[in-house]
């Protein structure tokens, strides 16, 4: 992989939009589309950065990695995916950082027959398709962990505030599907757009409903907006955040307002605190140490780790596919898809992936930990 060209991606604004990173012709071609600009940049930049940590070859076959910016826009993500499939003849697409963009990529991937490793949560009607595999923890997996914690904490009623897009919809749908199992009742629902700078009106409505707790269905730094506003408006009750909010940037922005919040998280945020026999610890430490050595202490994110996990999967799946076909061909695309579907388990930083024809999520409870914040740091609850 051409690291010199990857490092030069910031030299021209044009590369932020067209985003092409080219190198010498390589045997295995990977297209990566992420939101390195726009409202989802806090999620997308760690993904782009993590590509720089990828190896230059797999099983002796050189990697050609093409990185494009979709700015979190589904229409741009669609254009990028079509360019990958039709012009660049990629063997696999990784992306994107935002749910709407990943959904758009999936449509193209399944139309043209190229594997997508989706780097953001997506709904069942998308991940149940033939060519899309999910890297983040499924909303249902996270929901069960958070809802159980809420039940243990004595929560019976809650107010919900989340993004006014498909990511926000994921969590409302989870409450509708399984919330009753945990004795939870949603007494207020509010939404806001990712670029919004104020949610005062929504927060006042939530507080007026007098819920036992607040659940925030948002990601990246945008998840800090309702968190801070709730505390500023005098809400002192418990707040629960999804894995999309478990970042050091969230703590930096929210400050003291982050204290005592419960976050679901992938284990990569705290690999140092995991027991030595944990199945994710080795990959988690390898990623965190490499990433923070390059980009600075406290820069790890779950989002970047999805790119690490994509490579952990490909390192094992590509050699299997190479036994059946040559890269750059429809036959190799199909063989790689089959290898991902049946070649597990794939131990990774965020869990142990074991996909099947019926399961393109591939993760179990090993992919979820619960965290809180104390003194500006994440602390493992369990």
Q: Are residues 109 and 143 in the same domain?
A: no
Complete edge-to-edge strand list for the sheet that includes strand 369-374: 185-192, 157-163, 213-217, 239-241, 262-265, 369-374, 377-380
pLDDT at residue 22 in the model: 39
- Quick: pLDDT tens for 150-188: 999 999 999 999 999 988 998 999 999 999 999 999 999
Percentage of the chain with pLDDT > 70? 93
The answer to whether residue 300 is domain-embedded is: yes
SS3 state at 24: coil
SS3 state at 354: coil
Evaluate the omega torsion of the peptide bond into residue 124 and state whether it is cis, within 30 degrees of 0.
no
Range of the domain at 102: 3-137+285-364
pLDDT at residue 1 in the model: 53
pLDDT at residue 252 in the model: 94
Q: Are residues 249 and 337 in the same domain?
A: no
Q: Are residues 130 and 150 in the same domain?
A: no
pLDDT > 70? residue 247: yes
End of a domain among 232, 265, 298? 265
pLDDT at residue 212 in the model: 98
Average pLDDT over residues 251-275: 95
pLDDT at residue 221 in the model: 87
pLDDT at residue 10 in the model: 34
Q: Are residues 243 and 311 in the same domain?
A: no
Q: Are residues 250 and 295 in the same domain?
A: no
- Quick: pLDDT tens for 265-293: 999 999 999 999 999 999 999 999 999 99
Q: Are residues 43 and 124 in the same domain?
A: yes
Q: Are residues 241 and 161 in the same domain?
A: yes
Average pLDDT over residues 23-32: 74
Spatial neighbors of 96 by CB under 8 A, at least 6 apart, are: 33, 34, 35, 44, 70, 72, 77, 102, 105, 118, 119, 120
pLDDT > 90? residue 7: no
Please answer whether residues 270 and 369 qualify as being in contact, where contact means their C-beta atoms are separated by less than 8 angstroms. Answer: yes
The answer to whether residue 224 is domain-embedded is: yes
Average pLDDT over residues 294-310: 94
End of a domain among 234, 265, 296? 265
Kind of pairing, strands 157-163 and 115-118? unpaired
The answer to whether residue 382 is domain-embedded is: no
Q: In 3D, which of 262, 219, 251 has the Cα closest to residue 380?
A: 262
- Quick: pLDDT tens for 337-379: 999 999 999 999 999 999 999 999 999 999 999 999 998 889 9
CATH of the domain at 253: 3.40.50.2300
What's the chain's average pLDDT? 91
Q: Are residues 107 and 212 in the same domain?
A: no
Tokens of 74: 């589904």
pLDDT > 90? residue 8: no
Q: Write 9-12 long-range contacts (CB < 8 A, 24+).
A: 9/36, 9/48, 9/67
Q: Are residues 261 and 329 in the same domain?
A: no
Please answer whether residues 325 and 339 qualify as being in contact, where contact means their C-beta atoms are separated by less than 8 angstroms. Answer: no
pLDDT > 70? residue 303: yes
Confidence of residue 25 (pLDDT cuts 50, 70, 90): very low
Confidence of residue 35 (pLDDT cuts 50, 70, 90): very high
pLDDT > 70? residue 42: yes
pLDDT > 80? residue 323: yes
Number of structural domains found in the chain? 2
pLDDT at residue 199 in the model: 98
Alpha helices (runs of H) in the chain, residue ranges in sequence order: 3-7, 13-17, 41-51, 74-82, 99-112, 124-127, 139-152, 166-178, 200-208, 224-232, 248-254, 281-295, 302-322, 330-342
Q: Are residues 250 and 218 in the same domain?
A: yes
The answer to whether residue 188 is domain-embedded is: yes
The answer to whether residue 93 is domain-embedded is: yes
The answer to whether residue 380 is domain-embedded is: no
Please answer whether residues 53 and 115 qualify as being in contact, where contact means their C-beta atoms are separated by less than 8 angstroms. Answer: no
Spatial neighbors of 376 by CB under 8 A, at least 6 apart, are: 251
The answer to whether residue 369 is domain-embedded is: no
Q: Are residues 292 and 261 in the same domain?
A: no
The answer to whether residue 169 is domain-embedded is: yes
pLDDT at residue 5 in the model: 38
Q: Are residues 131 and 245 in the same domain?
A: no
């Amino acid at each position: 992989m051409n690291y010199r060209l990857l490092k030069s991606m910031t030299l021209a604004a044009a590369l932020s939009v067209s985003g092409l990173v080219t190198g010498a012709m390589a045997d295995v071609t990977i297209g990566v589309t992420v939101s390195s600009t726009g409202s989802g940049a806090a999620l997308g930049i760690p993904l782009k950065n993590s590509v720089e940590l990828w190896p230059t070859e797999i099983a002796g076959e050189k990697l050609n990695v093409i990185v494009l910016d979709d700015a979190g826009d589904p229409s741009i993500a669609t254009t990028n995916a079509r360019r990958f499939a039709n012009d660049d003849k990629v063997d696999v697409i990784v992306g994107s950082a935002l749910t709407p963009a990943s959904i758009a990529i999936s449509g193209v991937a399944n139309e043209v027959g190229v594997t997508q490793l989706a780097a953001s949560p997506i709904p069942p009607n998308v991940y149940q398709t033939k060519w899309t595999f999910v890297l983040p923890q499924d909303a249902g997996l996270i929901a069960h962990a958070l809802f159980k914690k809420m039940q243990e904490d004595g929560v019976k009623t809650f107010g919900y505030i989340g993004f006014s897009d498909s990511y926000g919809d994921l969590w409302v749908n989870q409450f509708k599907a399984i919330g009753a199992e945990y004795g939870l009742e949603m007494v207020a629902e509010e939404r806001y757009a990712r670029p919004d700078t104020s949610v005062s009106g929504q927060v006042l409505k939530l507080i007026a409903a007098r819920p036992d707790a607040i659940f925030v269905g948002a990601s990246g730094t945008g998840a800090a907006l309702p968190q801070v506003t709730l505390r500023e408006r005098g809400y002192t009750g418990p707040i629960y955040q999804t894995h999309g909010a478990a970042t050091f940037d969230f703590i930096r922005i929210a400050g003291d307002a982050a204290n005592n919040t419960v976050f679901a998280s992938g284990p990569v945020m705290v690999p140092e605190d995991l027991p030595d026999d944990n199945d994710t610890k080795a990959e988690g430490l390898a990623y965190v140490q490499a990433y923070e050595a390059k980009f600075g202490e406290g820069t790890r994110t779950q989002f970047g780790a999805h790119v690490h996990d994509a490579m952990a999967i490909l390192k094992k799946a590509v050699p299997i596919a190479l036994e059946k076909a040559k890269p750059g061909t429809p036959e190799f695309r199909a063989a790689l898809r089959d290898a991902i579907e049946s070649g597990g388990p794939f131990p990774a930083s965020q869990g142990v992936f074991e996909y099947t024809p019926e399961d393109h999520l591939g993760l179990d409870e090993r992919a979820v930990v619960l965290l809180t914040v104390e003194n500006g740091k994440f602390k493992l609850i369990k």
